[in-house]
C-alpha cells in the first residue's frame, strides 16, 4: 500500500486558497473546452435529428444545400414516378416538391435583419415530417397566403407570431400557426403552400424533391436509379445524411477552434498547477524526508504528488463541467454557415464530452504535477530531513 | 545467527562529503558493535558527525566505504528500494522535531508505517491503539499535531516508531526541543521501551540527563570514535 489518498486530499484541503485558485484556473479551461464541444454537439444533434432514415432528399448535383439547388418541373416529375416510393394512408405517393428560399426578416429584439428559410410545402410534405407538430393555430389552407412558423422563428422574429403578418416576396403572409419540430432545423423555418411560394418568388422550378422510401433499406437502388439517369442531373441523399453533412463542416470547425483555444488556455493552467505543486513539494520537504525514512519508496512519493496534482485536476474538471452543464438550459441561435440561415439549437452535453472534459482536466493535472512530483521523489532523505 | 553476535556491527566505516574540490571527512574509519537490547547514547560536539553516523545505521544515508551489518544484513549494499523496505521492517525513527504529518491525526500518524505491512485494517487499528496506550495518549487519538504539546507530539512519534515492532530504534536528540519535565517523560518512555520491550536504542544527545539513562556512552570527536 502506498501513501494514503486521505493524506493527499487533506493536504489539498489544508491549502484551501491555493487549491481553489489553481483548480479554478483549470475549471475555466474545462468550461471553455466543454462548452465549445457542447455547442458543436448541439448543432450536430439538431441537424442530424432533422432528418429521417426513410426519407430521401433529391437536389441538383453539386449543390450542398436546398437553397443552392434547382430542379425543373420535368426532372421533378421523373423523380416523382420512381418505383419504391411509399404511399400514404390516402393512397397518394409520399413525395413533396418544394421551393426553398432564403429571405430577410427583422429580429424581434433588435430589429436587425437576419436570414430565414422559407419552405413551400405540399400536403405530402407534412406527412413526410411527422416530427413537426402544430402547437398553436392550424395548418395553412392550400392556395392561400397563409404560413406557419417554427417555434424559434415565432419567438425570434417580428411578425412571425400567430395572428401577425410577415412580408416577403412583395406580399404579406398571415401566420396562422406555430409548429414545433423538436430540436431540428425545421424549427427555424417558415412553411407555406408550395404553389403560392413558387408564384410569389417567380420560380419555375423547385429546390428539392423529398420522398419516403417504401423500404428504407433499398436506398442504394433508388439512388443509383436517380444518379445514373441521363435525363437527371441530380443527387440523392438520405435525409439524415443530408442534414448531417450540413452540420459536419461547422461542427468540425467549432471543435477544432475550441480545442485549439482550450489547449492554448491550458498552458496557463498547467503552469499554474506546476507552480502550486512545486510550492507544495517545497513546503513539505521535511514530510517527504520523514515518509521516506519510514520506508515509503521513491515511487510512493512520486505517486502521492502525482495523485495530488490529478486530484487538483479532477476538482477543476468537475467544477468546469458542472458550470458547462448549466449551459444546456440555454437555447441559442446562430448562423448555419451552410445555408446562412438562422438556426436555433442548444448546448448538448454528451457522455463523450463529459469524459473528454475530465480527461482533459486530468491531463492538465498530470502535466503540471509530473516535474514537481519527480523532484519530490528524487530528493535525498537526509537532505530532505535537514530542510525541515 | 548466534545470540551473542552484535545486532549492529560497523566495520571501517567512512563518510566524506565532496564540495567542489574540497573533500570533507565526516566519519573516519569507524568500528562499532551494538548488542541486541543495548541502549547507546552518542555524544559529542556539534558537527562531529553524530547524526551522520545515526543516519547511516538507520539506512537513510549511504557510506563512502565500510560495512554496516544490522541483524546480519550489510545495509550499505542494499538497493534503494530494498533499503526502503528494510527500514520499514527494522527501524523506528524518533526525530528532534517530531516530524509528524500535520494533516493527519495521532491515529493516522502512528498508522503510517503499518501501511507498508500486510496487516489488515483491524490489526492495524489494534496495534495503533496499543502503541498510543503505551505512550499514554489513548485520549488524544483523534487529535492533530497542532492540537498537541511538544511532549505529546514526541510521544505520538515514539508510538509511530514502535508500532511496527522494529529491530532498532534510532533517536536524534529526542529531547532537544523539549523542556526538562516533558523531556524527562520522553526519556522515561525510551527507557521503558528498552527495559520492558527489549528494544535496542541508538540515541544522539547533547543532554547529560538523557545520556545518564543509557547503558553505554560513545563519544564522537571530529568523526572519530573515542569511547
Ligand atoms: N550534505 C552535506 N554536505 C556537506 N557537508 C555535510 C552534509 N551533511 C553534513 N555535513 C557536514 O558533516 C559534519 C557532521 O554533520 P552532522 O552529522 O550533522 O553533525 P552532528 O549531528 O554531530 O552535529 C558537519 O560538519 C556538517 O557540516
Ligand atoms: Mg545532529
| Domains of chain B, CATH where assigned | 34-62+77-226 (3.40.50.300)
Domain segments of chain A as ranges: 5-48+246-387, 62-232
> Is A378 at the interface with chain B, CB within 8 A?
no
Query: CA–CA distance from A265 to each of A75, A304, A325, A333, B32 (Å)?
Result: 53, 26, 20, 26, 61
Residue B201: closest CA among B162, B163, B158, B171: B171
For B36, which DSSP code?
T
Q: How many helices (H) and strands (E) does chain B have?
A: 7, 10
pLDDT by residue for chain A (388 residues), tens digit each? 689 999 999 999 999 999 999 999 999 999 999 999 998 888 888 877 778 889 999 999 988 889 889 999 999 999 999 988 999 888 889 999 999 999 999 998 888 998 999 999 999 999 999 888 899 999 999 999 999 999 889 988 999 999 999 999 999 999 999 998 877 788 889 999 999 999 999 998 999 999 999 998 899 999 999 999 999 999 999 988 888 887 787 788 888 998 999 999 999 999 999 999 999 999 999 999 999 999 999 999 999 999 999 999 999 999 999 999 999 888 776 666 555 566 777 889 999 999 999 999 999 999 999 999 999 999 999 999 998 6
B205 lines ligand 1 (CB under 6 A): no
B85 touches chain A (CB under 8 A): yes
Ligand 1 neighbourhood includes B17 CB (under 6 angstroms): yes
- To test the ligand 1 pocket, which listed residue (B18, B44, B47) has its Cβ within 8 A of the most ligand atoms? B47
Q: Which residue has the cell 566524506?
A: B16
Alpha-carbon Rg of chain A, whole angstroms? 29
Hey, is B186 helix, strand or coil? helix
Range B19-53 burial, b when 16+ CB lie within 10 A, else e: eeeeeeebbeebebebbbebbbbbbbeeebbbbbb
Q: Which grid cell is A218?
A: 433499398
**Which ligand lies nearest the alpha carbon of B53?**
1
What pLDDT does residue A89 have?
83
Half-sphere exposure (Cβ direction) of A57: Cα atoms closer than 13 Å: 30
Mutant choice from A12, A283, A292, A293 vs B, greatest count of B C-beta within 10 A: A293
Residue A183 in grid coordinates: 430540436
> How many angstroms separate the most distant Cα atoms in chain B?
55
* pLDDT (average), residues B62-83: 94
Amino acid at each position: 500500500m502506498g501513501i494514503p489518498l486521505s493524506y493527499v486530499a487533506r493536504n489539498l484541503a489544508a491549502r484551501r486558497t491555493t487549491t481553489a485558485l489553481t483548480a479554478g484556473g483549470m475549471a475555466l479551461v474545462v468550461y471553455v473546452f466543454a462548452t465549445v464541444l457542447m455547442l458543436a454537439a448541439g448543432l450536430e444533434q439538431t441537424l442530424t435529428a432533422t432528418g429521417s432514415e426513410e426519407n430521401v432528399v433529391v437536389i441538383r448535383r453539386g449543390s450542398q444545400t436546398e437553397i443552392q439547388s434547382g430542379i425543373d418541373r420535368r426532372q421533378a416529375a421523373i423523380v416523382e414516378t420512381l418505383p419504391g416510393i411509399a404511399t400514404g394512408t390516402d393512397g397518394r405517393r409520399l413525395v413533396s416538391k418544394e421551393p426553398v428560399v432564403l429571405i430577410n426578416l427583422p429580429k424581434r429584439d433588435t430589429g436587425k435583419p437576419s436570414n430565414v428559410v422559407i419552405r413551400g410545402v405540399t400536403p405530402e410534405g407534412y406527412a413526410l415530417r411527422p416530427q413537426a407538430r402544430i402547437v398553436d393555430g392550424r395548418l395553412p389552407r392550400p392556395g392561400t397566403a397563409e404560413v406557419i412558423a417554427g417555434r424559434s422563428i415565432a419567438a425570434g422574429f417580428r411578425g412571425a407570431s400567430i395572428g401577425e403578418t410577415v412580408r416577403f416576396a412583395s406580399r404579406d403572409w398571415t401566420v396562422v400557426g406555430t409548429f414545433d419540430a423538436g430540436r431540428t432545423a425545421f424549427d427555424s423555418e417558415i412553411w407555406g403552400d408550395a404553389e403560392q411560394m413558387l408564384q410569389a418568388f417567380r420560380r419555375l422550378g423547385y429546390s428539392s424533391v423529398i420522398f419516403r422510401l417504401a423500404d428504407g433499406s433499398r436506398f442504394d437502388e433508388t439512388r443509383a436509379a436517380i444518379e445514373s439517369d441521363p435525363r437527371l442531373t441530380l443527387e440523392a441523399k438520405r435525409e439524415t445524411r443530408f442534414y448531417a453533412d450540413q452540420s459536419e463542416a461547422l461542427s468540425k470547425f467549432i471543435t477544432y477552434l475550441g480545442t485549439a483555444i482550450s489547449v492554448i488556455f491550458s498552458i496557463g493552467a498547467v503552469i499554474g498547477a506546476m507552480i502550486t505543486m512545486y510550492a507544495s513539494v517545497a513546503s513539505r520537504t521535511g514530510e517527504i524526508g520523514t515518509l521516506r525514512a519510514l520506508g515509503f519508496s521513491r515511487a510512493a512519493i512520486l505517486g502521492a504528488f502525482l495523485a495530488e496534482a490529478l486530484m487538483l485536476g479532477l476538482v477543476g474538471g468537475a467544477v468546469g463541467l458542472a458550470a458547462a452543464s448549466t449551459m444546456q438550459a440555454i437555447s441559442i441561435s446562430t448562423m448555419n454557415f451552410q445555408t446562412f440561415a438562422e438556426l436555433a439549437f442548444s448546448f448538448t452535453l454528451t457522455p463523450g464530452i463529459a469524459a473528454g472534459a475530465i480527461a482533459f482536466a486530468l491531463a492538465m493535472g498530470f502535466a503540471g504535477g509530473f516535474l514537481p512530483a519527480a523532484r519530490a521523489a528524487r530528493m535525498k532523505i537526509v537532505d530532505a530531513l535537514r530542510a525541515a | 545467527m548466534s545470540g551473542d553476535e552484535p545486532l549492529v556491527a560497523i566495520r571501517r566505516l567512512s563518510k566524506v562529503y565532496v564540495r567542489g574540490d574540497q573533500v570533507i571527512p565526516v566519519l573516519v574509519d569507524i568500528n562499532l558493535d551494538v548488542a541486541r537490547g543495548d541502549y547507546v547514547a552518542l555524544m559529542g560536539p556539534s558537527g562531529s558527525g553524530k547524526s551522520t553516523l545515526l543516519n547511516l545505521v538507520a539506512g537513510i544515508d549511504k557510506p563512502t566505504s565500510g560495512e554496516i551489518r544490522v541483524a546480519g544484513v550489510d545495509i550499505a549494499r542494499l538497493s534503494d528500494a530494498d533499503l526502503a523496505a528494510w527500514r520499514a521492517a527494522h527501524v523506528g525513527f524518533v526525530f528532534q522535531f517530531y516530524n509528524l504529518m500535520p494533516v493527519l491525526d495521532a491515529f493516522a500518524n502512528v498508522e503510517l508505517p503499518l501501511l507498508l505491512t500486510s496487516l489488515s485494517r483491524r490489526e492495524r487499528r489494534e496495534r495503533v491503539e496499543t502503541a498510543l496506550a503505551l505512550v499514554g495518549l489513548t485520549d488524544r487519538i483523534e487529535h492533530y499535531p497542532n492540537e498537541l504539546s511538544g511532549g505529546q507530539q514526541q510521544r505520538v512519534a515514539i508510538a509511530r516508531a514502535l508500532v511496527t515492532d522494529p529491530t532498532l530504534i534510532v533517536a536524534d536528540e529526542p529531547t532537544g526541543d523539549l523542556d526538562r519535565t516533558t523531556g524527562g517523560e520522553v526519556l522515561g518512555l525510551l527507557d521503558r521501551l528498552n527495559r520492558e520491550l527489549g528494544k535496542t536504542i541508538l540515541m544522539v544527545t547533547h543532554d547529560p540527563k538523557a545520556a545518564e539513562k543509557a547503558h553505554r556512552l560513545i563519544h564522537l570527536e571530529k568523526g572519530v570514535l573515542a569511547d
